[in-house]
Structure 1
Amino acid sequence: MSDTRMDPAQRTLWQKQNNLLYLGLIGIGTVLVQPFVTESDLDPSATVCVVAFAIAIPLLAVLSMLNQLEELHGTTLYSRAAGFAKGLGLLGAMTGVVAAFWHIHWLAGLGIVVSGLTAMVLYASLTRKVARQGMSEGTG
C-alpha cells in the first residue's frame, strides 16, 4: 500500500490528509456517542453506534500518532498491522456514523450511506484526474 518511491511532498500531503480524517472521525464519534453514555437501555442502532466507535476511536488515535511519528522521521512505517488497524478503524467509524443517523430515522441512515459513497467516488475520481495532470505535487 505504501510506495517507498513516493515524493516526500506527496507523502507529507497524504499524511496530513489522513491525520485530518482520523482526528475528524474521532471528534465526530465523540459527539455522536455522547447522548448514549447516560442511557441504560439502548436500541439496536444506538448499540451498534457505541460499539463501532468503541472499536474505531482507539485505532484512529494510534494511526494519528503513527502519522506524527512518520512525519517527524520523514518515512513511512507501513505494516500489515497498521493497514488492518486503518481498515478496521475507518470501517468502525463509518458504521458508527451510519448507525447514529439510522437511530434518528432509517432514511437519514440511508441518506448518509448514499452521500458518503458518492463523496468517496467523487474524491477518488478527482484525485486520479489531478494525478494524471501532474498536479499531485501541489503545484497548483
Structure 2
Amino acid sequence: MPDKMYKVNQQKRLQSNFMYGGLIGIGILFIIDLINQTPLDGTLTIALFCFSIALPFLGLLIVRNYQEATHEYTVQSTHMHIANWLGILGIFAGLLAEIWHILWIAGCIFLLCSLWGIIGYSLFQTALKKANQREDAEKPAQPS
C-alpha cells in the first residue's frame, strides 16, 4: 500500500524517461559488445548479469511513467523505489565490470569519478533546495 499520493510532476517524468532510456541504450550497446566476447570471463559474466537484471527494471519504470502521464495523481510505492535502484545500480555495476575487465585501473578511475559526481550532485541539490526555501520565505504574503 502506498504511503502518500502526489501530483504528477510532468517535468520530472520526462526527465526520468530520458534518463531511463539512455541507461537502457547504454546497457544494450554493452550487451552487443559482450556477444562478441566468448567465452566470458568472470568480470564479463558479472556485467552480463547486471545488465540482464537492470534492463527489465528500467523498462518497467518507463511504463510506469507512461501510465502516470494519464493521471493527475501518483503514488510512491516501495517496490517502484526498489526497481529504480536496481535498474540504475545494475547498469552502473555492469559498466564498472566491463571497464574493469579492460583495465582495472580504469575501473578504479570510473568508480572514483562516479562517486565524485554523485557527491557533487547531492551537494548541488541540497544548495538548490536551501536557496529556494530562502526565496520563498523572503517573499511577502500576497493580500487576498
> Does the alignment reach a TM-score above 0.5?
yes
Aligned letter for 1:71? A
Kept in 1, the 8 Å contact 2:5–2:75? The answer is no
Ranges in structure 2 where 5+ consecutive residues have no aligned partner: 134-144
Instruction: Find the counterpart in structure 2 of residue 117 from structure 1.
Output: 115
Alignment of 1:81-120 (within 5 A): 81-120=79-118
Task: Give the Cα separation in 2 of the matches to 1:2 and 1:123.
Answer: 27
Instruction: Find the counterpart in structure 1 of residue 67 from structure 2.
Output: 69
Q: 1:100 to 1:74 in 2, by over 3 A?
A: farther
Instruction: Find the counterpart in structure 2 of residue 138 from structure 1.
Output: none
Instruction: Find the counterpart in structure 2 of residue 126 from structure 1.
Output: 124
Shift of 1:35: 1.6
Instruction: Find the counterpart in structure 2 of residue 35 from structure 1.
Output: 33
TM-score, normalised by the number of residues in structure 1: 0.83
Shift of 1:108: 1.2
Shift of 1:5: 5.5
How many residue pairs get aligned? The number is 132
* Range with greater deviation from structure 2 (66-75 or 83-92): 66-75
TM-score, normalised by the number of residues in structure 2: 0.81
Shift of 1:40: 3.1
Task: Give the Cα separation in 1 of the matches to 2:36 and 2:3.
Answer: 42
Larger Rg: 2
Kept in 2, the 8 Å contact 1:2–1:76? The answer is no
Kept in 2, the 8 Å contact 1:70–1:77? The answer is no
Identity within the alignment, %: 29
Shift of 1:14: 2.5
Task: Give the Cα separation in 2 of the matches to 1:93 and 1:12.
Answer: 25
Ranges in structure 1 where 5+ consecutive residues have no aligned partner: 136-140
Shift of 1:131: 1.6
Task: Give the Cα separation in 1 of the matches to 2:102 and 2:26.
Answer: 16
Shift of 1:48: 0.9
Q: What RMSD over aligned residues (CA atoms) do the two structures have, in Å?
A: 2.1
Shift of 1:19: 1.7
Aligned letter for 1:23? G
